[in-house]
Amino acid sequence: MSELWEAFKTAIHLLVTFDPEVVQIAWRSLWIAATSCAVCVVICIPLGNLIHFSRFRGKGLLISVIQTLYSMPTVAVGLIVFMLFRRSGPIGPLGLLFTPGVMVIGQIVLVTPVMLGLVISALSGIDKSIIETATSLGASRMQAYRICTREAKFAVMTAVIIGFGRAISEVGLSSMVGGNIEGYTRTLTTAIPLETGKGNFPLALALGIVLIFLAFLINIALYMLQHRRTWTRLFVWFQS
């Protein structure tokens, strides 16, 4: 117990003093996850609208497949991406294996089904007459999609936050395609087991605290967005 307490105190010291290694790993994890999540937003919101508001044969099956991919193991995605980007693979000549770029690509593959399925679920609560009314009033299909997305903005935001959480917390994919290279592709989730195996518990604990703190910030941001009106009323009441 005393060893755990000493490790915890050392971890807090590393965080309070902004230890360069901790900051570097945390920042790399954050921007890789944020980049992949941003690309997924650009893909999933228009595609989710297209799938939900279109009528075609096999739509139910397609949605079922997308939802099945929610639980796709990160190591399976990592294996597929590794096979594609290895030197003898079809995309190997690009030389992206063991770089942050291929980690972003892998996380896009991992997060897209989750975010896409949740966006479709979010839009299912929107009355289809909204898009029909918008179209009849002269709006283009993309404009009608934006209107529907705005109506379901809180549920769509939830999909984005969950997608980001999926990206920043995965470990198998980043380890396989990134290589866990110090100062280059090492992230929070790959550094924690490495430092634990080396017996460097204070650093591992510090990185774990950072990861938990980032997850906490994500949930706080979601809560504030979902209760924005409540916060606004409290602010107005306080000012009055």
Which pLDDT value is given to residue 231? 46
Total domains present in the chain: 1
Of the pLDDT bands very low, low, confident and very high (cuts 50, 70, 90), residue 131 is confident
Phi, psi (deg, nearest 5) at residue 137: -90, 5
Mean pLDDT of the chain: 85
Any idea what DSSP says for residue 69? Answer: G
Kindly tell me if the per-residue pLDDT of 4 is higher than 80.
no
Of the pLDDT bands very low, low, confident and very high (cuts 50, 70, 90), residue 1 is low
Percentage of residues of the chain with pLDDT beyond 70: 91
Which pLDDT value is given to residue 205? 85
pTM of the complete model: 0.86
Range of the domain at 162: 2-239
Which pLDDT value is given to residue 120? 93
Q: Three-class SS of residue 185? A: coil
Please state, in angstroms and as integers, the Cα–Cα distance from residue 79 to each residue in 98, 142, 190, following that order: 13, 36, 16
Which pLDDT value is given to residue 152? 85
Any idea what DSSP says for residue 5? Answer: H
Which pLDDT value is given to residue 71? 87
Condensed to tens digits (0 to 9), the pLDDT of residues 139-196 reads: 777 888 888 888 888 888 889 888 998 999 898 899 999 999 988 999 999 999 998 8
Any idea what DSSP says for residue 178? Answer: I
Which pLDDT value is given to residue 82? 95
Which pLDDT value is given to residue 238? 46
Q: Quote the tokens at residue 140.
A: 């283009």
> Which has the closest alpha carbon to 181: 10, 20, 24?
24
132-145 average pLDDT score? 78
Any idea what DSSP says for residue 125? Answer: T
- Please indicate whether residue 42 or residue 230 has the higher confidence score (pLDDT): 42
For CA atoms 94, 113, 211, 230, give the dihedral sign: positive
Which pLDDT value is given to residue 3? 66
Condensed to tens digits (0 to 9), the pLDDT of residues 72-123 reads: 899 999 999 999 999 898 998 898 999 999 999 999 999 999 999 999 999 8
Which pLDDT value is given to residue 145? 81
Which pLDDT value is given to residue 109? 95
Of the pLDDT bands very low, low, confident and very high (cuts 50, 70, 90), residue 38 is very high
CATH value at residue 81: 1.10.3720.10
**Quick one: residue 55, left, alpha or beta (phi over 0 = left, psi -120 to 50 = alpha)?**
beta
Alpha-carbon span 166 to 234, nearest angstrom? 33
- Are 165 and 151 in contact by the 8 Å Cβ rule? The answer is no
> Of 13-17, 52-56, 130-134, where does mean pLDDT reach its minimum?
130-134
Alpha-carbon span 144 to 130, nearest angstrom? 8
Which pLDDT value is given to residue 121? 92
Any idea what DSSP says for residue 86? Answer: S
- Please indicate whether residue 92 or residue 131 has the higher confidence score (pLDDT): 92
Alpha-carbon span 240 to 238, nearest angstrom? 5
| Exposed / middle / buried, residue 21 (Cβ in 10 Å: 0-12, 13-18, 19+) | middle
